[in-house]
Structure 1
């Protein structure tokens, strides 16, 4: 059975597998027990519907359902809808969101204010091992939080495990198959588990699809829910077999069957499911329908959060004749057969503490009987070893016009010629530890050019595609710049390391001849020393020239997506000046000057001493219009500079916004506008492309975020949709314009409290490679031949000092908060970064710290 971008031959479930007593004569006492249980489970109905699958669906008043027999729910107030749903993440397609209908719908619908409940029959109870165990699990499948610790009792699993953490839900699409079950007291299922606690305090919430003849009396594919708060000892049950799960939907019932099932190499059906915590309760949503919830107060450790999430399949093998059962898991085919043949979970996501859906990281598979059932992960969640998944750009690299030493493949360091080797042979791997607990792999360069010597090896985590290089060098001088080592010193090995690895790895440091410096380490999978010949002022001509920069910009300059609700758009600097922006001088505030379109009348040079600043037009209409910006006029302003000894070229792409909007705070589940906090005039943001001068390949992208930012490796970028384009995609946050590599919510804070940075894809998008101007450059000793526009050398503020009382805004918000929420908000205000207040006007690009140096 697959999982979110995987493939997995599996189907999931834990269930009761019990010998039948059906058909045996009941004692009078047993008959009384059965009738009492039937009366408790089958509440009086307003309407009953006979389904073609043999079920009877009772439409029970929502306030009279079995859930409220639970002693902790006697005075429970029904929550008809969740207070909120998780933000961000993937979206279900319209077809998925509509969801699959249950069979009973063909013969009727339940009235408003009722919920559909599958009627329990006498024979249903008698199929159970005992009357007391009806609808309950007998086995303890979780052990210490995972199934592999105690499969037992014939239960076999193929599951994907999350790493230990804090989880508030999960979202996925589950492939719908009707697995064959060989004998009536076996079952097969596919489900998710959310769990917390240890030992007999283990709490679980479970939901999925199952074929379970002992529970339902047939081999139909059915929806189920389950829960326990004491490790399956005395609490919890399937569906409405006991009190606990509260139904709110009148169209979907736990225990109901589905007619649509997937066919081998044919039509595929998927059921979209979402479980998450809202206002203390754990909600279940299928497609767009709120099915119901597990009240938080029936749990102990799950009353707060889950610590593990699992997705996968389970069967029970009850054969006692030495032969393994023929009961299928999922489609009955191994994961290796992939889509349309093996069952899957896809679009796997988990809910974090900020109520945001995220792709789970660090998942690891477990199959209790790999000879019969297995599970595999697709690249989106568990990436294959990097040697098998080398990163490639969506489109071939451009062909550059000849000129200078740019993109020639080698660089002359003055008698020492160096080159990059981006192809590798795997040397050794470990498969645990490191990012996402997936280990790391070491490589030696392959295809080393003739006459060149290796200067080191390459290593990277296994959770990403292979994207790197090793420098090799060739001595062009007569001074013996390079010499082989005279020996190697073993500096470490992994012989005693208790972890999954390709045998021991050995790390060797070269011993350099007198007067030389050792470079790099050698890694081997043998305790034998490597051979001694194993390891053996920059010219600005390596920088791209003007035409080559044009090609680079058109090829790599990113698309910047603005939030669909963004009202403060970017503009060109000329548009801003031409539409009423004013230059103020200290002491002459009553007589501001209009700014010429190219900024020719701006003061040049000097220092940011507060003598001058820019501001919006004075008239109210003009001010509001200019604050909104003008997307059509927007230009990207490029600064090209050498980096890392001119082995790379940085193209800093600056974007101007006339106005930065107000910030919003998130305090647990509440979003609060922060008045004018965060507002300022004249907002400069930038993206920096780092390009290899060896071959013109994009290496990394820097995204500015308030007063900082982050580097994103090219292999981790999102590229323009449709394929065939090497343009990266960046997302500008609502009002604040900080840039991020993925859409969704990024919280400046922790534990669900902080400043919101909301990003999303929209029709408001700016292609920085279409409208750009080079404002400063260093091309091959020419000084770039670029005339810097006057506004670049304006070293003063691009906005005024904003005078407003933060205390008033804070006190206004505090009046609406109480208790823990109020304390959380007060603590947040104390920690708000200075740049969010934005009281002082920002400076232009040339006064930013990265103009003359590297990104911080």
Structure 2
């Protein structure tokens, strides 16, 4: 072969090899891009969300004297009716009968408000529409009180039914990090009275938020409590456990699988604390926590996704009404669901 021909041949081989390398790299990048899934369209890969939620899923302790335990959303919906609260002394209306409320139809209802003579001639309200239900009329869920059935529902479900409803978002406090919200539902909150006022209420959504940095390392955890009394805690202030509940020593914290924060749910109120014992609330009645029944949430974490794009069939997050009956005060009224609480977009 002539030298000029050999040179040209070598040049062609090099160009072909370089082109093949570029194409392989492009295909690899494309494959990675295609592999990423963001079904809830929040800008975070769903696989990343699931990994983080599993890694930091908390261990929850109920107080040994707790009567009103957790339940899943589906268990509760099977045991309530949906009603519409009218103000001005007008009677409430039943929207969905007992055993007819589902995650699918929960946020698909519409009903008119009433006028001064209690006639349906006002605004058409949607059950997916955020509003001040107690003050302005709206939807709420209520266990029937026939023959004390509601008192049975208040006790919650068997522990095998308990679930943790999780939400992942870009952190509101840690640049480049994530906030991992773990929500717990209790059918009843049995709060102590204050100055003769009853603060018990049907339905109780509680949560803790674990914040991690851009390297997915633990930064802090926020434990929610009533009346804005929640607090942030560092790892030094917390206990950690494995996914199966084995408690870490100080030297084991955040190593291997010892990454699951331990949460103590206060008896009656279900406020969250990092330790067992008496929890002072200043002039308000103290909360009390203890190591009674436990819940290793790792095995029952459900990622609910975002309001506009729920995940895993958790359409309940689109329901904007209340999860309990209307009380005499805002505090004794059932709460809104997670996606309609201020914590959903913050801590």
TM-score normalised per structure 1: 0.29
Q: CA deviation at 1:614?
A: 1.1
SS at match of 1:841: coil
SS at match of 2:269: coil
Q: Which of the residues 598, 607, 610 maps onto 2:130?
A: 607
Equivalence for 1:736: 269
Count of aligned pairs: 267
Alignment of 1:429-828 (within 5 A): 545-578=45-78, 580-586=79-85, 589=92, 591=94, 593=96, 594=98, 595-602=100-107, 603=109, 604-608=127-131, 609-630=136-157, 631-644=159-172, 647-663=176-192, 677-693=198-214, 695-708=215-228, 709-720=230-241, 721-723=246-248, 724-750=257-283, 754-762=284-292, 764-777=293-306, 786=311, 789-803=314-328
Residues of 2 paired with 1:681 and 1:637: CA distance?
Answer: 19
Residues of 2 paired with 1:620 and 1:659: CA distance?
Answer: 18
CA contact (8 A) 1:680 1:802 kept: yes
CA contact (8 A) 1:678 1:736 kept: no
Residues of 2 paired with 1:845 and 1:542: CA distance?
Answer: 17
Residues of 2 paired with 1:796 and 1:784: CA distance?
Answer: 18
CA contact (8 A) 2:167 2:182 kept: yes
Q: CA deviation at 1:777?
A: 4.6
SS at match of 1:766: strand
- Structure 1 unaligned spans of 5+: 1-401, 405-540, 666-673, 804-833
Q: After superposition, what is the alpha-carbon deviation per residue over 1:222-272, rounded to whole angstroms, capped at 9, x for unaligned?
A: xxxxxxxxxxxxxxxxxxxxxxxxxxxxxxxxxxxxxxxxxxxxxxxxxxx
RMSD of aligned residue pairs (Cα, Å): 2.9
SS at match of 2:150: helix
> Structure 1's 543 and 646: CA in aligned 2 closer, same or farther, altered over 3 A?
farther
Q: CA deviation at 1:755?
A: 0.7
Q: CA deviation at 1:637?
A: 0.7
CA contact (8 A) 1:730 1:741 kept: yes
Q: CA deviation at 1:573?
A: 0.5
Residues of 2 paired with 1:839 and 1:784: CA distance?
Answer: 31
TM-score normalised per structure 2: 0.69
Equivalence for 1:848: 341
CA contact (8 A) 1:557 1:727 kept: yes
Ranked by relative contact order (alpha carbons within 8 Å, sequence separation 6 or more), the top structure is 2
CA contact (8 A) 1:643 1:649 kept: yes
Residues of 2 paired with 1:842 and 1:785: CA distance?
Answer: 20
Q: CA deviation at 1:542?
A: 12
> Structure 1's 703 and 840: CA in aligned 2 closer, same or farther, altered over 3 A?
same
Residues of 1 paired with 2:261 and 2:80: CA distance?
Answer: 32
Q: CA deviation at 1:544?
A: 5.1
CA contact (8 A) 2:185 2:205 kept: yes
Residues of 2 paired with 1:842 and 1:638: CA distance?
Answer: 18
The structure carrying a bigger helix percent of its residues is 2
CA contact (8 A) 1:664 1:756 kept: no
Alignment of 1:163-242 (within 5 A): none
Q: CA deviation at 1:746?
A: 1.1
Q: CA deviation at 1:647?
A: 0.5
CA contact (8 A) 2:70 2:156 kept: yes
Q: CA deviation at 1:403?
A: 6.4
CA contact (8 A) 1:574 1:597 kept: yes
Residues of 2 paired with 1:654 and 1:643: CA distance?
Answer: 17
CA contact (8 A) 1:584 1:615 kept: yes
Q: CA deviation at 1:716?
A: 2.3
> Structure 1's 640 and 606: CA in aligned 2 closer, same or farther, altered over 3 A?
same
Residues of 2 paired with 1:612 and 1:555: CA distance?
Answer: 37
CA contact (8 A) 1:610 1:796 kept: no
Q: CA deviation at 1:798?
A: 1.5
Equivalence for 2:3: none
Q: CA deviation at 1:620?
A: 2.8
Residues of 2 paired with 1:700 and 1:745: CA distance?
Answer: 23
SS at match of 1:552: helix
Q: After superposition, what is the alpha-carbon deviation per residue over 1:597-637, rounded to whole angstroms, capped at 9, x for unaligned?
A: 32524434223242211111232342121100013211111
CA contact (8 A) 1:577 1:599 kept: no
SS at match of 1:655: strand
